[in-house]
Structure 1
């Protein structure tokens, strides 16, 4: 069963809205405590507006909100997911962190880690400068203790808001405590925290996202790509790693034989080292179905990918999302479409500069700019005649038909797709910012839902429990990151 706690959308910042949310949590907690059988059925708690309310609250209100949500988590012994609320962890005790650490059925956890203590204390870099050591005050030990009960955890997100939050031991010990870990996101850690050495210690995974990790090198990525841990990957995202060698990408594609979804986002174009000879096709994968390819500054990489697809290197490919397809090389390999822009794209881009729009947006990494550029190529192609048909009768021209040109390849199985992971976003790939921004995405399904009710509603029925499929507004979940 899924519990969703809605907030007042029209008044999300007001004191009244915060009080309503707090009351819903209290009523729901009391209901679940009184009906233990119902509490055991709860698998997920969705709080789509709680992140926003938390960010707009004063410290005292934040503490109360944390404590109330913690008590709700403690009332659900079989909880698997808490979706929509991801407060910052500062290596200090709070009731919600503790409550989640006791849920043995938990399947996903997101850590947004910030270090507020001095690094010269020795807690984070492993130096033994203290005469006396107390494990209960060691930030690394405190962090590791949170994972002791999570034998069923499958999805883990680790994101650093500043450097000095983790060390090698913290990463490795965390992975070893999670025997069922399948999906892993690691982003924004310093080079002395997560580097090639740490990468090679990763366990076999189903999904992996590496983002903004300056300690990773092409050499380290090559070694990891050839390891047993990379063979079972079905989803892989390499974002802002600034890979220089095309062989790194080639190695991942050849090693991960079951890879279905592959994402590359960076500014520079990876290529071959001087004197190297390119094989044909340069890139290939028999299994990839979804490819997000975003190389901002054009180079040989787009050409290499386009020629590889044309040569049959990606027989299973069905979707390409390429926001930086500046020359339309990848668009030309996909099924032709008549319209790719949205109504909002024209209004948004018109604010950026009118006649100078084309030159300004060429290296602008946003979906509205990408859709407008793709539409411009379509419209330019329509102005060119592709085939002219002349109808004659007894040598006299009766009629002439001109078939206009188009962008794309007839019969192609590939769709040129420029839609975001998070509906309404200008960025194609969802990120930590989408989680921390708060809000929700519309969806529908058939799961049972329990919504916290208003003042004076004590029973489960009065609190809004029901068992019927309906349109709902769900929080942005961790699955959008992979």
Structure 2
């Protein structure tokens, strides 16, 4: 170790920099010839005169002095041309604050300048100001000028905006998209993409984010404009042709496309094209869509019209099979033409099963799925007479989809999907079984105990035979992650007589995770309560569903479910009362006719009943009309408010005699309940469809076609109120009238 040197720096006790009392010039050792000038008050306090400063050896004192801290009494000449030089400040000791070292010397130096030069003339004041400015800019160790205080300057245009990350700009554009495409918005997809185009030309910063948002989700809704048709001499598909040309010329834009919405083929134009003999308009349209799909290498979803698959070659299906990043696929299977199958208009019996596919047809259908390793959503809807029966075709198809999470099956015949196929399903989060005649209550009960069903969150059973309440109880008790359950059928699940003793132990039906419940038994008489409704309502009242927040029961005969929910003052609107005129009688007649013809009456209450007879082959396509349900619920609320008051009011005068007695405060429901009684349809559905989106609804137009009683969007919402719009202003916001398309999804 080296010798230890004791040092005693002359610092304050708070380790702040030393406030200088006198202006001191730079220390130069023996080269220092001009003594510093000091004030007269300072001379009075000094006991000795200081000589010109010389270098001090390190061995003269045990406490070495810092050069530049000695005080000199010499008086320098006053010259306005000479400016004080930059001082060599003592280095900051370890432990001193950085902020004090940075700003403290400057502040103290200004104080010393103002105190020492108060009696000087104007030239000296100018020298002091110049000295202070020079001190603020001190040389760094590398030789460059470093400013102790950042220079105050105004922000340049877009300087603060350029520092925002892309995530914030994406959030802004997502909110803009929600404003344009909201269900009750006056705007449309054309107006939304027009705003993105305008935003992209404002700056380079916005261009990157706006182009990404626009090409990530492309929506071509409604017919083409008249100018495009005249320019390209095409009746349909002008925008698709322009988009394909753009994507082929710019591969970077093509790589951004994730979702593509193509317009629906106009049936009027299609018939005109077919009459001219230009070929099949549907085939021409599918070829244009296929060419556009081939230009999108990273396509994840194709929305719009669903082309029917008849087990023959189509370019659109071949193009989709080559998209390895596809995440959603909707199949619409047609009947096979020829002796193997039967068309819907043929004389085949409704109870007869459709013919199986050939090996070549099954292989082609299976090959379409081999490249879809990222597919997450699959929906299959079979038209009358269609089938996918050929060995275990559906099971092998699902094994090719390792990322599958959402499966929706509709109208599959018994030889295509049955209990064995149900038990072999992979791990799913959403399962929809609509009009599946091949499954039974025993199959559903066994499916609930399978390990692959433990990840199920959403389960929809529409007109699929669930005949026994024990199967429903097992579904609720074993599916621990189930949050959304729907049951729609025109008969009530029955309770076996040997299990009736278990009804004394409520709750019989229980699910700790269920949040939303849709329960629609469409075929019981008005005013009557079936056993399933009674058991379910008693189970909810007993706490069997602690997390349930929403109940939709269109056939709540006596208000048993409505009494468990939060009280509502009004549930029906004025339009419901107007449109309900005459519809209630029709609904009651249809319900009574269905109940009289229901095969449930022929079934006995026994445990052996696990499936329905084959006569129950064509159930009604939809559920109960929600408009009628709202009218019935409002009538129950009015009856409770009028006849069943909850509070007794007694009015007394000053003498204590009773003046008036009356009751008030009637309501239907449970105060403090967390359950909402909902009778509104889901987005994309309607009142006459029961409020649920079914698999066949995916092939609908989604509001793209303009109904006679509705108006489309022409961009007129952007017109300035109170200002007369001229022709040039109208051209800024006007576009071809198009409908407001709504994306339909079952998951």
8 Å CA contact retained: 1:51, 1:436? no
Q: Cα distance 1:274–1:209, how it changes in 2: closer, same or farther (>3 A)?
A: same
Q: What residue in structure 2 maps to residue 103 of structure 1?
A: 323
Q: Cα distance 1:53–1:432, how it changes in 2: closer, same or farther (>3 A)?
A: farther
Q: Which of the numbers 624, 627, 647 marks the counterpart of 1:368?
A: 627
The answer to which of 415-424 and 103-112 deviates more is 415-424
Q: Which of the numbers 638, 642, 650 marks the counterpart of 1:383?
A: 642
Q: What residue in structure 1 maps to residue 370 of structure 2?
A: 148
Q: What residue in structure 2 maps to residue 68 of structure 1?
A: 288
1:105-162 deviation per Cα after TM superposition (whole angstroms, max 9, x unaligned): 10010101012234648x96378xxxxxxx6xx2111111110110000000011102
8 Å CA contact retained: 2:377, 2:404? yes
Secondary structure (helix, strand or coil) at the match of 1:236 reads strand
Q: What residue in structure 2 maps to residue 466 of structure 1?
A: none
Q: Which of the numbers 692, 696, 703 marks the counterpart of 1:433?
A: 696
Q: What residue in structure 2 maps to residue 394 of structure 1?
A: 655
The answer to which of 167-176 and 397-406 deviates more is 397-406
**For 1:21 and 1:322, how far apart are their aligned partners in 2?**
44
The answer to which of 262-271 and 111-120 deviates more is 111-120
Secondary structure (helix, strand or coil) at the match of 1:205 reads coil
Q: What residue in structure 1 maps to residue 86 of structure 2?
A: none
**For 2:704 and 2:646, how far apart are their aligned partners in 1?**
43
Q: What residue in structure 2 maps to residue 220 of structure 1?
A: 443
Counterparts of 1:462-481 in structure 2 under 5 Å?
473-477=740-744, 479=745, 481=746
Q: Give the TM-score normalised by structure 1.
A: 0.83
Shift of 1:253: 0.9
Q: Which of the numbers 50, 66, 78 marks the counterpart of 2:264?
A: 50
Q: Cα distance 1:15–1:342, how it changes in 2: closer, same or farther (>3 A)?
A: farther
Shift of 1:408: 1.0
Q: Give the TM-score normalised by structure 2.
A: 0.55
User: Where in structure 1 are there 5+ consecutive unaligned residues?
Assistant: 128-134, 443-471
**Aligned positions, number:** 435
Shift of 1:437: 2.5
**For 1:30 and 1:9, how far apart are their aligned partners in 2?**
16
**For 1:9 and 1:395, how far apart are their aligned partners in 2?**
81
8 Å CA contact retained: 1:335, 1:408? yes
**For 1:439 and 1:126, how far apart are their aligned partners in 2?**
32
Q: What residue in structure 1 maps to residue 484 of structure 2?
A: 261
**For 1:310 and 1:82, how far apart are their aligned partners in 2?**
45
1:159-204 deviation per Cα after TM superposition (whole angstroms, max 9, x unaligned): 1102452124210111000000000011111111111111111111
Q: Which of the numbers 181, 202, 217 marks the counterpart of 1:2?
A: 217
Q: What residue in structure 1 maps to residue 519 of structure 2?
A: 293
Q: Residue 343 in 1 paired to residue 574 in 2?
A: yes
Counterparts of 1:244-323 in structure 2 under 5 Å?
244-276=467-499, 277-278=501-502, 279-298=505-524, 299-323=530-554
**For 1:21 and 1:421, how far apart are their aligned partners in 2?**
32
Q: Cα distance 1:199–1:72, how it changes in 2: closer, same or farther (>3 A)?
A: same
Q: What residue in structure 2 maps to residue 92 of structure 1?
A: 312
8 Å CA contact retained: 1:218, 1:243? yes
1:396-422 deviation per Cα after TM superposition (whole angstroms, max 9, x unaligned): 335556323111111110001111123
Q: Cα distance 1:361–1:212, how it changes in 2: closer, same or farther (>3 A)?
A: closer
Shift of 1:440: 3.2
Q: Which of the numbers 670, 677, 699 marks the counterpart of 1:409?
A: 670
Q: Provide the aligned C-alpha RMSD in A.
A: 2.9
Q: What residue in structure 1 maps to residue 426 of structure 2?
A: 203
Does 1 or 2 have the higher relative contact order (CA < 8 Å, sep 6+)?
A: 1
8 Å CA contact retained: 2:684, 2:702? no
Q: Residue 171 in 1 paired to residue 407 in 2?
A: no
8 Å CA contact retained: 1:124, 1:139? no
The answer to which of 429-438 and 73-82 deviates more is 429-438
Q: What residue in structure 1 maps to residue 181 of structure 2?
A: none
Q: Cα distance 1:347–1:362, how it changes in 2: closer, same or farther (>3 A)?
A: farther
- Which has the larger Rg? 2
**For 1:192 and 1:438, how far apart are their aligned partners in 2?**
31
**For 1:15 and 1:435, how far apart are their aligned partners in 2?**
32
User: Where in structure 2 are there 5+ consecutive unaligned residues?
Assistant: 1-215, 342-353, 525-529, 593-622, 706-738
Q: What residue in structure 2 maps to residue 459 of structure 1?
A: none
**For 2:586 and 2:384, how far apart are their aligned partners in 1?**
36
Shift of 1:257: 0.4
Shift of 1:362: 6.5
Q: What residue in structure 1 maps to residue 151 of structure 2?
A: none
Q: What residue in structure 2 maps to residue 194 of structure 1?
A: 417
8 Å CA contact retained: 1:377, 1:407? yes
8 Å CA contact retained: 2:265, 2:285? no
**For 1:54 and 1:237, how far apart are their aligned partners in 2?**
37
